[in-house]
Chain A
Amino acid sequence: MTLTGEVVRISGAVVSARRLAGAQMYEVVRVGDDRLVGEIVVLDRDVATIQVYEDTEGIAPGEPVTTTGMPLSVELGPGLLGSIYDGIQRPLDVLRDAGGDFIVRGLTAPGLRRDTAWDFTPAVRPGDRVEGGDILGSVVETEVHEHRVMLPPGVQGRVEEIAPAGRYTVDEIVAAVRGGGRTRRIRMRQYWPVRKPRPIRMRLEPINPLISGQRVIDTFFPLVKGGTAALPGPFGAGKTVVQHQLAKYVNAGIIVYVGCGERGNEMADVLRQFPALVDPTTGRSLMNRTVLIGNTSNMPVAAREASVYTGITIAEYFRDMGYDVALMADSTSRWAEAMREISGRLEEMPGEQGYPAYLASRLADFYERAGRIAAIGSPGREGSVTVIGSVSPPGGDFSEPVTQNTLRVVKVLWALDADLAHERHFPAINWLTSYSAYIGAMQGWWAEHAAPLWAEHRAEMMAILQAESELLETVQLVGEDVLPEEDKLVLVQARLIRDGFLIQSAFHPIDTYCTVEKQYLMLELLARFFGLARDAVAAGASAAAVGGLAVRSRLERMPFVPNERFADEYRSIGQEITEAFAGLSAGRGVIG
């Protein structure tokens, strides 16, 4: 049923309209003569307050508002991969073809292309009993990805008809299912309201590592498939570079990248790089596994608020097919600010720093949509959604509401640090303040994967870094001279860990991705060096002599050694370490 009301008030992205009794909360409406897309956020008798997803300039009281009968939804089906959407799933490339290089108002286009025919292979037969989530067939969506066509949740019955193998568009009927006294025609596309989590059979414990090829993450603060991580940091600390690195290299089947209120040039960078980059797991173009949502900072603020929901709903859809999905949201602070801006226009009672009182629950609801799950339907499938959210705290102060409320729900914190960034120590993840709640879960995995001493080495290196920070406080007061040699050695070793392991250049062709095997060997060499150095110092060598060993420079340059050659380099460096310390005790091998 379509209702038509009339605009009575316009204030920025918020418009009020009357004569809409019967409209529903969160229903999508079209506003004004230009038919701008909006969503009802408050109902008061016959007056609806609407957040509008496009620029409202020029709208006047008296213009019409019509309801659509649908909540804000995304269109799900083959064709999502490789697309770039705005916050409400309008395909930006299609809008460009239709409206030019600048985004003009009132344009709409469906999320999935209507003209593409997909190779469909049925998986059920007429007469089969099916229920929501069951796989009816499959489509090769990209060369690396099989798209499983699922019966929408809530539908059940007996298959009356199923299309034979062949090419179909998302508009064509591929199955008819009879149940509850009626026949449902099923297409390869389905709709799901973005603010409502998709149903699952049950939650599973997340135990499989999400490998990123980034040393400080995989080795020191690991994340698991289905886990949650926050990435807060002041501007210039490298949030976006870390997010891009994760989007490129994590071992997930599907990536959903949400650029929420960030820079247009960054989206252009992703669009330029991803098609040319190769997925280390499949060897195919990265764009084949990626869905981009780009609602940049100058695009309408209400669509920014919707963009994270659009992203997570798409992620859940692929999860339900049985895939591991990683979602990057850059930045959740812009989302929270969009909430604040709209809340202000609605004249709601503000909470901390002007944010609405429901900020904490919205953040929690969002992160709770992550997880490893068993999907509904058959055949049985497991999938996961991992969520990594950037946070942009004003002034880099983590005590602000968005950071604090995020930390209450996420399990991993990668805290970015301005001082490290200023020194060009990237990724600028501060090893003292960051944490991961998945270390216990990872211990078993590393032990099984040829790295029996991972936990031990990791703990030893962390202890050295912590000791360094305490020693540096003393040094600041009285200088390094007064420290005993073993403490000076801690400083030497800590520097070696920072420069030779923690720093990793995202832009260096080799260093940008470090395999877990190489990570472990590097860690092992650092531990071996320290073990021998400690013995040497105990036997009377100076820490300066240890720091002056030629092999130290070689250890610091380990990042530049190609992954596939590293096993050889490992043996060679190992040998040089043994020789260097043998030489040291014999009084040789020291520079200066």
Chain B
Amino acid sequence: MDGTFPDEKPLQKGREYLSVTRVAGPLIAVSGVEGVAYGEVVEVTVPSGERRAGRVLESREDLAIVQVFGGTEAIDTTRTSVRFTGETMKLGVTEGLLGRILGGTGEPIDGGPLLIPDTMRAISGNPINPSAREFPRDFIETGISAIDGMNTLVRGQKLPIFSGSGLPHARLAAQIARQARVSGEEESFSVVFAAMGITYEEGDFFIRNFRETGALEQAVVFVNHADDPVIERLITPQMALTVAEYLAFDLGYHVLVILTDMTSYCEALREVAAAREEVPGRRGYPGYMYTDLASIYERAGRIKGRKGSITQLPILTMPNDDITHPVPDLTGYITEGQIVFSRDLHRKGTYPPIDLLPSLSRLMQGGIGEGRTREDHAAVRDQMYAAYARGRRLRGLVAVVGEESLGDIDRLYLTFADRLERGFLRQPEDERRPIEESLDMAWQLLGTLPESELTRMEPAMIEEHYPRQTEG
């Protein structure tokens, strides 16, 4: 018995049909049905006896359109039987899921013992009432300067990594999962990892990594591989987030949810939309993709009066590194910022190859400052960004007109940008750099500019932190 089918409710009479009338892509139409609920779970038995799960996408008086998660291969219109379970999709959740590896539809694939659920939860979840939300403000120290110093992550935030094929997003996500901590607290921490359409190699990388660092015992892993049925991916994130909500809001865990790769998820969504002959939106993706993605990403957050939290770290690969592609575009409109990878930096051997300019953390402001990180944090970030942006702009100019044409001050900015990328940004994969150290490094860099250039901060702050020894 996998997690998908609760057998609590007896099979209703007349709820099994042999009347599949149409099979197209991942969808089947079943006619002559009665009283089928929208979103109801079905069990499809193909002529060979194999069983697959499905869900009702549209229900009419005598017709149901069903999306089949195992794929529609071998389904025929004469012998295939379809059983309507009378249930909407639910997942059995329990603390015992920690340490387990499950398939994309929630069935254990690690050969471990049978799971006994504490309770059944509808995987589509209910939206958190906005007035019940606690605004996220707890600084998570990841030990990575580019994130902690410049794009701070807080508990309850959803901060995606916008990557490209071949870039080290898996390594960065694993590093964050390994290093993330909230200062001064020893609380229950867990990771829910949902892989959609990733290769065995990448899946193994994460599982091995979790195992080696002991994180696996505190993790729940869902894996839908690249060669698993595409349609299965559509429920993987919902399953993972249902477990995460249970761990966070029922049991008080601080849960980090890693979702990879959201681009594969969106492609599955497009496939279903195409099979339904829906009017396509941009690049063939369905018009409701924003709403669909929001129903995943918005399941991050904190709730007033409850201990746990859900922090999301979705990963997506931008097709052709194009940030305006619908998947990163719609994601960016929903998430609270983004960490953007740069192929250029990666080529130069920089790890992590984070392109600071398009990266952003919207919840940073509430998580930093006195009593959280340090009082100069916001000003340092502003000044670093202003200086780095100017350096980058000049770099473009120098490529055309040569460095000789720059004034003295401009040359300082050019050097500033280079040093930032070689020193502040770059760090080994196993280095956990405390926030104090990241900020001090930033001041060392700002010290290469004359004080009169630091106009994004108040004079008192310069007085206190400007490194005197490197002046001149």
Give the interface of A toward B (CB within 8 A): 8-12, 55-62, 84, 92-93, 95-96, 99-104, 234-236, 259, 261, 263-265, 267-269, 271-272, 294, 296-299, 301, 334, 337, 340-341, 344, 350, 353-354, 392, 394-397, 418, 421-424, 475-481, 499-500, 505, 507, 544, 550, 552-553, 556-557, 560, 591-592
Q: Is the CB of A269 within 8 A of B135?
A: yes
B156–A265 contact, CB under 8 A? yes
Cβ distance B440 to chain A, nearest Cβ, rounded Å: 21
Of B122-130, B183-191, B344-352, the one with at least 4 CB within 8 A of chain A: B122-130
By beta carbon, the residue of chain B nearest A350 is B279
User: In the bound complex, how far is the Cα of B389 from the Cα of A481, in angstroms?
Assistant: 21
Q: Is B249 an interface residue (CB 8 A)?
A: yes
Q: Which of chain A's residues have a CB closer than 8 A to the CB of B332?
A: 234-236
* B95 on the A face (CB < 8 A): no
Question: Would you list 12 pairs from A and B whose C-beta atoms are within 8 A, ordered by A residue?
Answer: A55-B124, A60-B38, A92-B131, A102-B126, A102-B127, A235-B338, A265-B135, A265-B157, A265-B336, A271-B130, A394-B326, A553-B452
CB neighbours of A553 from chain B (8 A): 452-453, 455
Of the stretches B55-63, B102-110, B222-230, the one at the interface is B55-63
Which of chain A's residues have a CB closer than 8 A to the CB of B386? Answer: 423-424, 499
Q: Hey, which chain A residues are within 8 Å of B358, CB to CB?
A: 236, 418, 422
B88 touches A296 (CB 8 A): no
Q: Does B252 contact A (CB under 8 A)?
A: no
A10/B400 contact (C-beta < 8 A), A58-B39, A294-B130, A423-B389 known: no
Known A-B contacts A263-B298, A264-B130, A265-B336; the reply to A424 vs B385 at CB < 8 A is yes
- Find the A residue at minimum CB distance from B37: A60
C-alpha gap A301/B400 in the complex (Å)? 50
A60-B59, A261-B294, A265-B336 known; A101 vs B405 contact (CB < 8 Å): no
Check B468 for interface membership: any CB of A closer than 8 A.
no
Given the known interface contacts A102-B129, A337-B287, A556-B455, the answer about A61 and B282 at a Cβ–Cβ threshold of 8 Å is no
Given A58-B88, A423-B357 in contact, is the A479-B405 Cβ separation under 8 Å? yes
Instruction: Name the B residues within 8 Å of A95 (CB-CB).
Output: 129
Q: Is the CB of B132 within 8 A of A96?
A: yes
B127–A264 CB distance below 8 A: yes
Q: Does B455 contact A58, Cβ atoms closer than 8 Å?
A: no
Whether the Cβ atoms of B59 and A9 lie closer than 8 Å is: yes
Q: Which A residues are CB-close (under 8 A) to B57?
A: 11
B60 touches A392 (CB 8 A): no
Query: What's the minimum C-beta distance from A349 to chain B, rounded to whole angstroms?
Result: 9
Told that A60-B37, A104-B126, A394-B329 touch, could you supply 18 new A-B pairs with CB distance under 8 A? Answer: A8-B61, A61-B36, A101-B249, A235-B329, A236-B358, A259-B130, A265-B136, A265-B301, A268-B135, A268-B301, A296-B298, A297-B295, A341-B288, A344-B287, A353-B282, A394-B326, A553-B455, A592-B409
Whether A96 pairs with B131 at a CB distance below 8 angstroms is: yes
Closest Cβ of chain A: how far from B213's Cβ, in Å? 30
Q: Does B134 contact A (CB under 8 A)?
A: yes
Contact status B128-A264, CB under 8 Å: yes
B21 at interface by CB-CB < 8 Å? no
Q: In the complex, which residues of chain B have a beta carbon less than 8 angstroms from the beta carbon of A272? A: 135
B441 in contact (CB, < 8 A): no
Query: Which chain A positions have C-beta within 8 A of B452?
Result: 550, 552-553, 591
Q: Return A545 CB to nearest CB of chain B, in Å.
A: 11
Task: Count contacts on B: residues with CB < 8 A to the other chain.
Answer: 88
Chain A residues whose C-beta falls within 8 Å of the C-beta of B290 in the assembled complex: 261, 297, 334, 337
* Bitwise interface map of B from 242 to 285 toward A, beta carbon under 8 Å scored 1, else 0: 00000001000000000000000000000000000011111000
Bound Cα distance A265, B134 (Å): 8
Shortest beta-carbon distance from B33 to chain A in Å? 9
Interface string of B333-347 (1 = CB under 8 A from A): 110111000000000
Taking the closest CB of chain B, its distance from the CB of A469, in whole angstroms, is 14
State whether B280 touches A354 (Cβ < 8 A): yes
A250–B319 alpha-carbon span in the complex (Å): 42
Question: Which one, A265, A334, A423, contacts B363 given CB within 8 A?
Answer: A265
Q: Is B212 interfacial (CB 8 A cutoff)?
A: no
Across the interface, B378 reaches (CB within 8 A) one of A11, A480, A481, A507, namely A507
Q: Are B389 and A57 in contact (CB under 8 A)?
A: no
Given contacts A265-B336, A476-B397, A505-B382, contact A395 B455 (CB under 8 A): no
With A and B bound together, what is the CA distance between A264 and B330 in angstroms? 16
Q: Taking A61-B36, A236-B337 as contacts, is the C-beta distance between A344 and B278 under 8 angstroms?
A: yes
Which residue of the partner chain B has the closest CB to A591? Answer: B452
Q: Which of A57, A92, A298, A341 has the most CB atoms of chain B within a 10 A radius of its CB?
A: A298
Indicate if B199 sits at the interface (CB-CB under 8 A). Answer: no
CA distance A236 to B160 in the complex (A): 13
B458 interfacial contact with A, CB 8 Å: yes
Chain A nearest CB: distance from B231 CB in Å? 18
CA distance A455 to B298 in the complex (A): 46
B226 CB to nearest A CB, Å: 27
In the complex, A267→B136 CA distance in Å?
12
Chain B residue at smallest Cβ distance from A423: B389
Interface centre among B298, B330, B363, B455 (most CB of A within 10 A): B455
- Give the shortest distance, in Å, between B180 (CB) and chain A (any CB): 19
Contact yes or no, A479 B37, CB < 8 A: no
Asked if B365 is an interface residue, CB under 8 A from chain A, the answer is yes
Query: Is the pair A57, B135 in contact by a Cβ cutoff of 8 Å?
Result: no
A297: shortest Cβ distance to chain B, in Å?
A: 3
CB contacts (< 8 Å) of A500 on chain B: these are 455
Q: Which residues of A contact B334 (CB under 8 A)?
A: 263, 297
- Does A544 contact B407, Cβ atoms closer than 8 Å? yes
- Closest beta carbon of chain A to B201's beta carbon, Å: 32
A103 and B298 alpha carbons, distance in the complex (Å) = 13
B135 partner residues in chain A, CB cutoff 8 A: 265, 268-269, 271-272
Are B405 and A480 neighbours in the complex by a CB distance under 8 Å?
yes
**A101 and B306 contacting across the interface, CB-CB below 8 Å:** yes
Q: Which of B122-167 contact A (CB under 8 A)?
A: 122, 124-136, 156-157
- Across the interface, B458 reaches (CB within 8 A) one of A55, A267, A424, A560, namely A560
Closest to B59 in A: A10
For A334, list chain B residues within 8 Å (CB): 290
8 Å CB interface, B301-345 against A: 301, 303-304, 306, 324-326, 329-330, 332-334, 336-338
B363 smallest CB distance to A (angstroms): 7
Beta-carbon contact of B58 and A11 below 8 Å: yes
**Bound complex: CA of A478 vs CA of B404, how far in Å?**
12
Taken together as a complex, chains A and B put the C-alpha atoms of A350 and B287 apart, in Å, by: 11
Contacts known (A298-B298, A298-B299, A354-B281); A475 close to B130, Cβ less than 8 A: no
Within 8 Å CB of B136, what residues of A? 265
Interface pair A56/B126, CB less than 8 Å apart: no
Across the two chains, which residue of chain A brings its CB closest to B39?
Answer: A57
Instruction: Kindly state whether residue B40 has any CB partner on chain A within 8 Å.
Output: yes
**Cβ B298 vs Cβ A264 within 8 A:** yes
The smallest C-beta distance from B390 to any residue of chain A, in angstroms, reads 8
Q: Quick check: A61 and B249 within 8 Å, CB to CB? A: no
Shortest Cβ distance from residue B422 to the other chain A in the assembled complex, whole angstroms? 21
With contact pairs A479-B402, A591-B452 given, residues A235 and B333 touching in the complex (Cβ less than 8 Å)? yes
- Residues of chain A contacted by B385 (CB below 8 angstroms): 423-424
B7, CB-defined interface residue at 8 Å: no
A308 to B180 alpha-carbon distance, docked (Å): 40
Interfacial residues of chain B within 383-423, with CB under 8 A of chain A in the complex: 385-386, 389-390, 393, 396-397, 400-402, 405-409
In the assembled complex, which residues on chain A have CB atoms less than 8 Å from the CB atom of B408?
592
Contact present for B129 and A96 (CB under 8 Å): yes
- The CA-CA distance from A104 to B126 in the complex, in Å, is 6
Contact A60 B36 (CB under 8 A): yes
Contact of A57 among B124, B329, B363, B402 (CB under 8 A): B124
Indicate if B291 sits at the interface (CB-CB under 8 A).
Answer: yes
Q: Which residues of the partner chain A approach B40 to less than 8 Å between Cβ atoms?
A: 58, 60
Interface assignment of B459: CB less than 8 Å from any CB of chain A? yes
- Inter-subunit contact A56/B38 (CB<8 Å): yes
* Chain B residue at minimum C-beta to C-beta distance from A481: B405
